[in-house]
């Protein structure tokens, strides 16, 4: 019950999904769409589980006065405020207009968007510090990494790029040819790895995700 | 200890003063454009607050600090709730309710699509998942997990077999001599142009050998020595060249993200540039 | 004033890098925060002081510029808007500067689009640029927008022999024959230059294949950076010149400004974007050099 | 003190922002436009026939469209006047143009030859609801010639021979085929039932106009119950194009198939690969010795856990942004299981912040099981594995915070990663942690390679779970993967020889039809 049934469920649904791929008929498609729909709906329940986990971890922090517990208050405050706006407590709880709620939209525009964009823009700093630290001619491999990166960066630098047409040609050759070869080798490997792992999951060989009992 | 506390209080005071100054100044700017006072106050606050959050995140580059912590925790709470609300309204109300209950459909004002008994299965699976909160019968949640994992494993197996494996293999079939018209033509048209015969032919060779050696690098059940060692070494070289080139190529795009953010600070907030 | 600030900032960045270079020659590592500081400066200084690194036009961009510049006044130039809003940030600066250049040279400007979205983008450009910078230019005499027709390259097949087979009116609904600008214009062959700005299908490539080549009309273009490499093979034989990506736009803008005093204050989105890019790029490369120096000298220092 | 003030600021924001709502109708609530609107002349140019496909919100979507309003004007900027309103559904409207006495129809218009030899067939290897229409182009369609007067072909379909015929779509001049693909949804306006007779007409559209035609412009508007809630097209030109219809062809029926023969190569590969894997697993079970080369990244994991124990610092395990269904995440669970077991044995701390709630659930199961395996179920704490948020950068912000505050000895990133890879890895390096990464997301591998101490590249991530477990069955499947790769190389060499000899049949074996 605790282990055999889940494993057989995995097998049945896995094999079904493989078979349905070869059957274009509507009835197979119909079940396929059902299954995908179900996964989304289950996902919503899981989200509730996630929110519950977030609340519990934050609450524990506050209750036991762990380090930085005060900030967990901010998290909970943001969370509850946004939920209240999302369900539009004043007027129409029952329609999706919560998502158009003035405060909901403004929290999104003036809290989520600025922070999100700023987090993303940190990449400009990190790409520089990573380049400084890693691009050193320590070994053959590191030198290859360094040289390829430098050629491409020079090519796209507005000043050095136009120096020589060969720089441009080399850079686009690098981006087109070896790049293609390496990506293809990785993709073939990854494809095989995914197929093999999926097969192991379906056959019940890889089962770490089910835990133990 | 007392000194650092004093300093951080001082910083807090400065931040609050600057915040207030910016709020007032921004309100003034908005009012100048003919906006009513109430709206100006509100928008002045919003822009100031967005700028405050932006700077708080940037301050992380110096070191972890209360402002970053504040922005981070606020962001986590707000975004978690945001996705929950979106998920609830779009999937649960939009997709699930109309297929199971007319009463609830009317309550949520979504068009009822007719009762569908099959939609009780995800409901049951979802509730099983929620049983995780109980430690005694939490194992039931594995059934839902098994359903999800099984379905998607089957789906992925077939999808990757086709797109990542079969089609990539067939793409490797390239002619090793491009458009051969004899040695005379070859040497008379010899050029380093990307569309020239020499470069095209050479590129095809590099692709073929690169893929070949790359795959050898990913062999696990064979010691990398002898011919295998040599080939896998070439494989990792090709990989490294690629990684370097991809890194270099990305730099430009990342810088423009920062340009966008700084433009917000300098233009939308401070009004320093137009 | 702003020049002073600029010079001081650049001096600080330069001196800072030099100092770091000397330190790294002694084998010392640069702290990460200093790198962050330099990147921040490299991006914000050009933004704040509006640094415009004067771009030198590469031959492929210069060719297009020279063509427009050297055509006798009153030549007929057609500009096609072959893009949509998502691509606009990258290619809109190209159309803008092209329109300015063509009108500043007193050429006749014909606007159209092979993309449905091109019609409104064209109308918007007319409103913004022509009404703003060239109030003296008259719609129907100095410029005209004939808009969009469905049919992709099929449209080109037709208008390369006769405009009026497909286009009866301009976007304002006026008969082509009633417009002075269309006097003596029968087909694309009567144009002196065709320019397509875009980045997808149909785009510059189709213009070259279906209009420029069969009609024997010089054809040039502007394209998003991603698709530019696919167009280079057409240069210079079939394609006169090309602006590739925001960089191409910046080069053209600088070249234009250098020669036209009147437009020295015009907005130059392409150049503006390039300032921070260039400086940040340089700083990152400087740090890679510094990193390697400190690695080699640091090692030596330890050994001796 | 400071914290309280920060909270007050947050409260201020909520209170200060006010509660105002906009009255105008947001774009998202407006009805969608009808699509594929085409206007044809009839009766020598005196009649305009307007065809359209219903709006996405007509009988589907938001289901608010109560009809369509048609406006006409002689000029696109002139005043458009309503000519009629029509009920929802697929539609065609015949507009008798105002008789313009100044225009005289001068002579017989040119008329193109109709298309001939039309064949109709059910689309193969599909779910039904589609018909393939093929024809021989009009004799006037001189493809590629600049003087070609044929612009396009329009395909019309009806369920009875006498009509009404509705336009289905357009093919460019020179084209000889149109795939008429309908919807399988019963409620959709575009619904195309199986096992029903269909009749087709193909119209040859030219670039010529009726002599003496006069331009008109139309606007079509999707209307709803609310007079303020509508959406309309920009002016559409009616220009009196000349066309010729083919004769009526049909009937034809469409239906779905039970096996997609185009996918036979995929099926063969699936069967072969499964057979090799199962065979290798059986061999491994029987005790055959299987060699696996060392993977530096994975050997570093054990080392790193030891280091963490010495330093008394926790280990941070990041499962990435993938869902539990992503195979990379499943491989990561196996590695997490192994890491958690070691961690439990050494009594080190473990932190697993999760991006996806289901991933969190599974990770909790995995970690719990590992603690039991290690014989320390009492040390397991539910709060070791927790959910953060399903927003990419909020998750990153939180993980960054953990890295700088808890200062983990080791950060392990395994699974799916996107733009955040470098932010995480650089912050980890800032905190001085040892970093081990593994992902199959090709675009992110360079960043991990640059910023982490060890990186599992692509397939190595999948090999790692087998390698760590050292169970013969898992190693057996690794061996099967290697055999498949050997097969790929052989196929590549053969393919390569055949393509250079121009034997296309071999290459075509790998072309998968739809």
What pLDDT, in 10s, does the model give residues B219-255?
988 888 888 889 999 999 999 999 998 888 888 767 8
Task: Summarize the confidence of residues D161-186 as an average pLDDT.
Answer: 81
Interface of D with A in 176-235 (CB under 8 A): 184, 194
Q: Which of D427, B19, B57, B36 has its CA nearest to residue A111?
A: B57
Is A172 an 8 Å CB contact of chain D? no
pLDDT of residue D101: 43
How many angstroms separate the most distant Cα atoms in chain C? Answer: 88
For domain C59-263, give the fold.
Rossmann fold (3.40.50)
Question: What is the nearest CA distance from A21 to chain B, expressed in angstroms?
Answer: 8
Lowest mean pLDDT among C177-181, D113-117, D287-291: D287-291
**Which residues of chain C make contact with A164, given a CB cutoff of 8 A?**
none
Of C239-248, D167-176, D275-284, D355-364, where does mean pLDDT reach its minimum? Answer: D167-176
Q: Which residues contact D423 (CB under 8 A, 6 or more apart)?
A: A119, A122, A123, A126, D396, D400
Please tell me the distance from the alpha carbon of residue A127 to that of residue D444, in angstroms, as a whole number: 12
Residue of B nearest to D480 (CA): B221
> What stretches of D17-110 show up as alpha helix (H) in DSSP?
none
CA distance A172 to chain D (A): 17
What does DSSP assign to residue D441?
-
Handedness of CA D491, D495, D496, D497 (dihedral sign): positive
Å from D438 to nearest chain B CA? 14
**Highest-scoring range by mean pLDDT, B49-63, B177-191, D455-469:** B49-63
According to DSSP, the residues that pair with C145 across neighbouring strands are C111
D25 touches chain A (CB under 8 A): no
Distances from the Cα of D250 to the Cα of D129, D159, D245, D278, angstroms: 16, 10, 15, 52
CA distance B78 to chain A (A): 5
Arithmetic mean of pLDDT over chain B: 85
SS3 B2: helix
Contact of A2 with chain D, judged by CB distance below 8 Å, is answered with no
Interface contact D327-A198, CB threshold 8 A: yes
Instruction: Please tell me which chains touch B, using 3 or more CB pairs under 8 Å as the contact test.
Output: A, C, D
| pLDDT at residue B71 tops 50 | yes
Closest CA to C232 of B249, A153, C241: C241
Given a cut of 60, whether residue D23 has pLDDT beyond it is: no
* Interface touch C277/B255, C-beta < 8 Å: yes
Residue D239's alpha-carbon distances to B243, C182, D46, D68, in angstroms, are 56, 20, 11, 22
Write out chain A residues lying below 8 Å of D21, CB-based. 101-102
- The whole-number pLDDT of residue D44 equals 56
Q: How far is CA D143 from each of CA B33, C201, D6, D139, D146, rounded to the nearest angstrom? A: 59, 20, 72, 10, 9
Q: Determine how many CB atoms are found less than 10 A away from the CB of residue A9.
A: 20
For residue A36, the chain B residues in CB contact (below 8 A) are 151
Residue D16 has pLDDT above 70, yes or no: no
The answer, yes or no, to whether residue A145 has pLDDT greater than 70, is: yes
Q: How big is the CA angle at D78 (ends D72 and D82), to the nearest 5 degrees?
A: 30
Question: Given CB atoms, is A208 within the 8 Å cutoff of chain B?
Answer: no
DSSP 3-state of D172 = strand
Q: How is residue C199 annotated by DSSP?
A: S
Chain-chain contact of A132 with C288 (C-beta, under 8 angstroms): yes
Q: Of the given ranges (B229-238, B243-252, C86-95, D486-495), which has the lowest mean pLDDT?
A: C86-95
Residue C303's pLDDT band, with cuts at 50, 70 and 90, is very low
DSSP assigned state of D264: H
- Structural domain spans, chain B: 2-63, 116-173, 180-269
> Is this prediction's ipTM beyond 0.85?
no
Question: What is the per-residue pLDDT for D512?
Answer: 57
In chain B, what is the greatest distance between 2 CA atoms, to the nearest angstrom?
A: 86
Q: Which of B138-147, B186-195, C28-37 has the lowest mean pLDDT?
A: B186-195
Q: By three-state DSSP, how is residue D277 classified?
A: helix
Q: How many CA atoms lie within 13 A of D224 on its CB side?
A: 20
- pLDDT bucket at D21, cuts 50 / 70 / 90: very low
- Segment of B137-151, B175-189, C217-231, D1-15 carrying the highest mean pLDDT: B137-151
Yes or no, beta carbons of A157 and C229 under 8 Å apart: no
pLDDT at residue D13 tops 50? no
CA distance D203 to D246: 6
Residue B270 is classified by DSSP as S
The answer to whether residue D104 scores a pLDDT higher than 50 is no
Q: Which H or E element spans position D48?
A: strand D47-53
Closest by CA position to A99, among listed D5, B153, B90, C5: B90
CA pseudo-torsion sign D408, D414, D417, D422: positive
Of the given ranges (A64-68, D235-239, D307-311, D454-458), which has the lowest mean pLDDT? D235-239
Compute the nearest-CA separation of A192 from chain B (Å). 7
Q: Inform me whether the pLDDT recorded for A135 exceeds 80.
A: yes
What length is written for chain C? 304
Are the C-beta atoms of D292 and D483 separated by less than 8 Å? no
Can you tell me the mean pLDDT for B114-143?
Answer: 86
- Could you give the angle at the alpha carbon of A123 between the alpha carbons of A118 and A124, nearest 5°? 95
Give the closest residue to D421 by CA, choosing from D396, D402, D401, D398: D396
Rounded to an integer, what distance in angstroms lies between the CA atom of residue C20 and that of residue C31?
10
Residues in chain B closer than 8 A to C48 (CB atoms): 266, 272-273
Report the half-sphere exposure of A138 (CA within 13 A, side-chain side): 14
Q: What is the pLDDT of residue D189?
A: 64
- Determine how many CB atoms are found less than 10 A away from the CB of residue D156: 21
D344 contacts on A by Cβ (under 8 Å) = none
Q: At C112, give phi and psi (nearest 5°).
A: -155, -170
E strand residue ranges, chain C: 76-82, 108-113, 143-148, 193-198, 219-223, 242-244
Q: What is the pTM of this model?
A: 0.79
Mean pLDDT over each residue of chain D, to the nearest integer = 82
Cβ-defined contact of B223 to D18 (cutoff 8 Å): no
Chain A and chain B share a number of CB contacts under 8 A equal to 398
Contact criterion met (CB < 8 Å) for B246 and D446? yes
CATH 3.40.50 is held by the domain D296-470: yes
CATH 2.60.40.10 in chain D, residue ranges: 29-252
Interface probe for B, chosen from D489, D503, D504 (most Cβ of B below 10 Å), is D489
A85-to-A79, A90, A96, A106, A115 alpha-carbon distances in Å = 10, 9, 11, 10, 20
- For the segment D293-318, the average pLDDT, to the nearest whole number, is 88
**Which of A39, A130, A192 lies closest to D481 in CB terms?**
A192
Element (H, E) at D237: strand D236-238
What integer is the mean pLDDT of D270-282?
A: 90
**Interchain CB contact of A162 with B (< 8 Å):** no
| CATH number for domain D29-252, candidates 3.30.10.20, 2.60.40.10, 3.40.50.11860, 3.30.70.1450 | 2.60.40.10
CA distance C50 to chain D (A): 29
User: Which residues from B are below 8 Å from C53, CB to CB?
Assistant: none
Q: Which of A74-83, A125-134, D171-180 has the lowest mean pLDDT?
A: D171-180
Q: What interhelical angle do D296-311 and D459-469 show, nearest 10? A: 60
Say if the Cβ atoms of B152 and A39 lie within 8 Å.
Answer: yes
pLDDT digits (tens, 9 = 90+) for B185-203: 666 666 656 566 777 788 8
Four-point Cα dihedral D265, D268, D270, D273, nearest 10: -120
Q: Which of A122, A129, A156, A171 to mutate to test the interface with C (most CBs of C within 10 A)?
A: A129
Residue C1: Cβ-neighbour burial (10 angstroms; 0-12, 13-18, 19+)? exposed
The Cα–Cα gap between A36 and D263 comes to: 22
Query: Closest approach of chain B CAs to the CA of A162, in angstroms?
Result: 16
Which among C226, C235, C276 is the top mutation candidate for probing chain B, defined by the most B β-carbons within 10 Å of its own β-carbon? Answer: C276
B128 versus A173: the higher-pLDDT residue is B128
If phi > 0 it is left, if psi is from -120 to 50 it is alpha, else beta; for residue D36 that is left
For D370-393, how does the pLDDT look when each residue is reduced to its tens digit (9 = 90+)? 999 999 989 998 889 999 998 889
The answer to whether residue A148 scores a pLDDT higher than 90 is: yes
Least confident of A110-114, C113-117, D466-470: D466-470
Numbered ranges of CATH 3.40.50 in chain D: 296-470
| Average pLDDT over every residue of C194-220 | 85
> Is B107's pLDDT higher than 90?
no
The pLDDT score that the predictor gives to residue A94 is 52
CA distance readout (Å), A117 to A81, B260, C287: 22, 9, 25
């Amino acid at each position: 019950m605790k282990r055999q049934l889940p494993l057989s469920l995995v097998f049945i649904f896995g094999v079904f999904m493989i078979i349905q791929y070869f059957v274009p008929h509507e009835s197979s498609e119909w079940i396929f769409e059902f299954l995908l729909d179900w996964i989304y709906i289950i996902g919503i329940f899981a989200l509730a589980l996630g929110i519950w986990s977030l609340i519990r971890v934050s609450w524990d922090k506050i209750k036991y006065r762990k380090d930085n517990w005060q900030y967990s208050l901010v998290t909970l405050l943001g969370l509850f405020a946004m939920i209240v706006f999302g369900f539009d407590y004043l007027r129409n709880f029952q329609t999706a207009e919560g998502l158009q709620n003035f405060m909901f939209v403004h929290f999104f525009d003036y809290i989520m968007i600025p922070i999100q964009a700023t987090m993303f823009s940190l990449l400009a700093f990190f790409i520089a510090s990573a380049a400084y630290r890693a691009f050193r001619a320590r070994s053959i491999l590191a030198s290859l990494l360094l040289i390829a990166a430098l050629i491409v960066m020079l090519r796209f630098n507005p000043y050095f790029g136009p120096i020589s047409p060969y720089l441009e040609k080399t850079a686009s050759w690098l981006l087109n040819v070896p790049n293609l070869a390496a990506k293809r080798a990785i993709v073939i490997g990854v494809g095989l790895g995914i197929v093999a792992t999926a097969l192991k999951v379906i056959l019940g060989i890889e089962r770490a995700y089910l835990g133990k009992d | 200890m007392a000194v650092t506390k004093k300093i951080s209080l001082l910083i807090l005071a400065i931040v609050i003063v600057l915040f207030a100054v910016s709020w007032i100044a921004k309100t003034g700017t908005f009012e100048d454009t003919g906006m009513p006072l109430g709206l100006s106050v509100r928008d002045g606050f919003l822009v100031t607050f967005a700028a405050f959050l932006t700077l708080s995140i940037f301050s992380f580059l110096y070191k972890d600090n209360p402002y970053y912590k504040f922005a981070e925790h606020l962001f986590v709470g707000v975004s978690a709730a945001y996705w929950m609300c979106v998920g609830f309204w779009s999937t649960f109300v939009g997709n699930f309710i109309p297929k199971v209950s007319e009463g609830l459909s009317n309550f949520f004002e979504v068009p009822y699509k007719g009762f569908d008994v099959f939609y009780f299965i995800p409901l049951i699976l979802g509730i099983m998942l929620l049983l995780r909160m109980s430690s005694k019968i939490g194992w039931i949640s594995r059934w839902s997990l098994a359903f999800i994992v099984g379905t998607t494993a089957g789906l992925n197996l077939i999808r990757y077999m086709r797109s990542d494996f079969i089609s990539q293999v067939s793409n490797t079939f390239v002619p090793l001599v491009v458009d051969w018209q004899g040695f005379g033509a070859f040497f008379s048209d010899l050029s380093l142009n990307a569309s020239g015969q020499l470069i095209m032919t050479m590129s095809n060779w590099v692709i073929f050998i690169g893929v070949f050696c790359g795959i050898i690098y990913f062999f696990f059940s064979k010691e990398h020595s002898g011919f295998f060692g040599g080939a896998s070494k070439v494989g990792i070289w090709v990989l490294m060249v690629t990684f370097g080139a991809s890194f270099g190529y990305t730099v430009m795009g990342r810088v423009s993200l920062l340009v966008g953010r700084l433009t917000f600070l300098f233009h939308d907030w401070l009004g320093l540039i137009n | 004033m702003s020049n002073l600030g600029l010079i001081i900032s650049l001096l600080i960045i330069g001196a800072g890098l030099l100092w770091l270079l000397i330190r790294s020659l002694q084998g010392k590592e640069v702290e990460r925060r200093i790198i962050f500081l330099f990147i921040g400066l490299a991006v914000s200084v050009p933004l704040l002081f509006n640094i415009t690194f004067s771009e030198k036009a590469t031959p492929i961009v210069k060719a297009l510029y020279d063509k427009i510049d050297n055509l006798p006044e009153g030549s007929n130039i057609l500009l096609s808007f072959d893009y949509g809003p998502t691509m606009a940030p990258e290619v809109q600066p190209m159309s803008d500067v092209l329109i300015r250049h063509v009108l500043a040279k007193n050429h006749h400007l014909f606007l159209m689009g092979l993309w449905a979205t091109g019609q409104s983008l064209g109308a918007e450009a007319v409103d913004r640029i022509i009404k703003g910078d060239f109030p003296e230019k008259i719609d129907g005499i100095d410029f005209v927008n004939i808009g969009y027709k469905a049919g992709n390259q099929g449209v080109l097949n037709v208008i390369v022999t006769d405009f009026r087979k497909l286009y009866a009116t301009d976007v304002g609904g006026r008969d082509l024959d009633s417009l002075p600008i269309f006097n003596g214009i029968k087909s694309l062959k009567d144009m002196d230059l065709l320019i397509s700005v875009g980045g997808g299908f149909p785009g510059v490539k189709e213009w070259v294949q279906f209009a420029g080549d069969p009609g024997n009309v010089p054809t040039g273009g502007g394209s998003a950076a991603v698709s530019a490499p696919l167009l280079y093979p057409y240069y210079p034989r079939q394609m006169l010149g090309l602006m590739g990506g925001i960089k191409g736009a910046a080069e053209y803008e600088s070249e234009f400004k250098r020669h036209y005093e009147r437009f020295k204050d015009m907005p130059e989105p392409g150049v503006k974007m390039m300032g921070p890019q260039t400086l940040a790029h340089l700083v990152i490369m400087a740090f890679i050099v510094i990193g390697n120096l400190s690695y080699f000298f640091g090692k030596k220092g330890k050994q001796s | 003190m400071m914290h309280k003030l920060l909270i007050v600021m947050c409260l201020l924001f909520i209170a200060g922002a006010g509660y105002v709502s906009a009255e105008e109708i947001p774009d998202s609530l407006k009805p969608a436009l009808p699509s594929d609107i085409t206007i044809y002349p009839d009766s020598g140019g005196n009649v305009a026939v307007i065809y359209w496909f219903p709006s996405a919100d007509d009988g589907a979507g938001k289901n608010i469209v109560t009809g369509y309003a048609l406006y006409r004007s002689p000029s696109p900027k002139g005043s458009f006047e309503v000519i009629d309103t029509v009920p929802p559904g697929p539609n065609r409207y015949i507009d008798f143009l105002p008789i313009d006495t100044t225009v005289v129809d001068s002579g017989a218009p040119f008329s193109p030859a109709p298309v001939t030899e039309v064949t109709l067939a059910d689309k193969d290897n599909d779910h039904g609801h589609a018909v393939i229409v093929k024809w021989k182009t009009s004799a006037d369609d001189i493809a590629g010639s600049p003087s070609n007067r044929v612009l396009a072909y329009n395909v019309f379909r009806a369920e009875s021979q006498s009509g009404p015929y509705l336009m289905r779509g357009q093919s460019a001049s020179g084209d000889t085929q149109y795939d008429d693909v309908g919807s399988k949804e019963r409620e959709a306006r575009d619904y195309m039932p199986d096992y029903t007779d269909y009749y087709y007409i193909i119209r040859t559209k030219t670039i010529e106009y009726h002599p003496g035609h006069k331009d008109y412009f139309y606007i079509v508007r999707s209307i709803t119950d609310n007079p303020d809630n509508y959406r309309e097209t920009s002016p559409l030109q009616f220009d009196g194009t000349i066309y010729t219809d083919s004769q009526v062809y049909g009937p034809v029926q469409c239906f779905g198939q039970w096996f997609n023969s185009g996918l036979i190569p995929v099926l063969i590969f699936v069967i072969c690969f499964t057979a090799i894997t199962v065979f290798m697993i059986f061999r491994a079970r029987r005790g055959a010795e299987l060699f696996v080369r060392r993977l530096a990244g994975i050997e570093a994991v054990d080392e790193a856990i030891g280091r963490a124990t010495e330093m008394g610092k926790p280990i941070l395990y990041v499962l990435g942004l993938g869902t539990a269904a992503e195979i990379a995440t499943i491989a990561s669970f196996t590695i997490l299981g192994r890491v958690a077991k070691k961690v439990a044995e050494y009594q080190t701390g473990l932190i697993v912040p999760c991006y996806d709630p289901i991933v969190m659930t599974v990770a909790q199961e995995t970690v719990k099981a590992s603690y039991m395996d290690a014989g320390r179920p009492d040390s397991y704490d539910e709060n070791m594995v927790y959910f953060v948020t399903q927003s990419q950068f909020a998750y990153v912000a939180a993980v960054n915070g953990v890295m700088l505050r808890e200062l983990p000895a080791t950060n392990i990133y395994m699974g799916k990663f996107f733009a955040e890879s470098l932010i995480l890895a650089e912050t980890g390096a800032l905190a001085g942690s040892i970093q081990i990464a593994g992902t199959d997301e090709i675009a992110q591998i360079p960043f991990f390679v640059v910023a982490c101490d060890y990186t599992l590249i692509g397939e190595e991530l999948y090999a790692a779970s087998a390698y760590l477990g050292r169970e013969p069955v898992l190693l057996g499947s690794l061996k099967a993967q290697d055999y498949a790769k050997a097969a790929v190389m052989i196929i590549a060499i053969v393919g390569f020889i055949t393509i250079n000899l121009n034997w296309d049949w071999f290459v075509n074996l790998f072309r998968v039809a739809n």
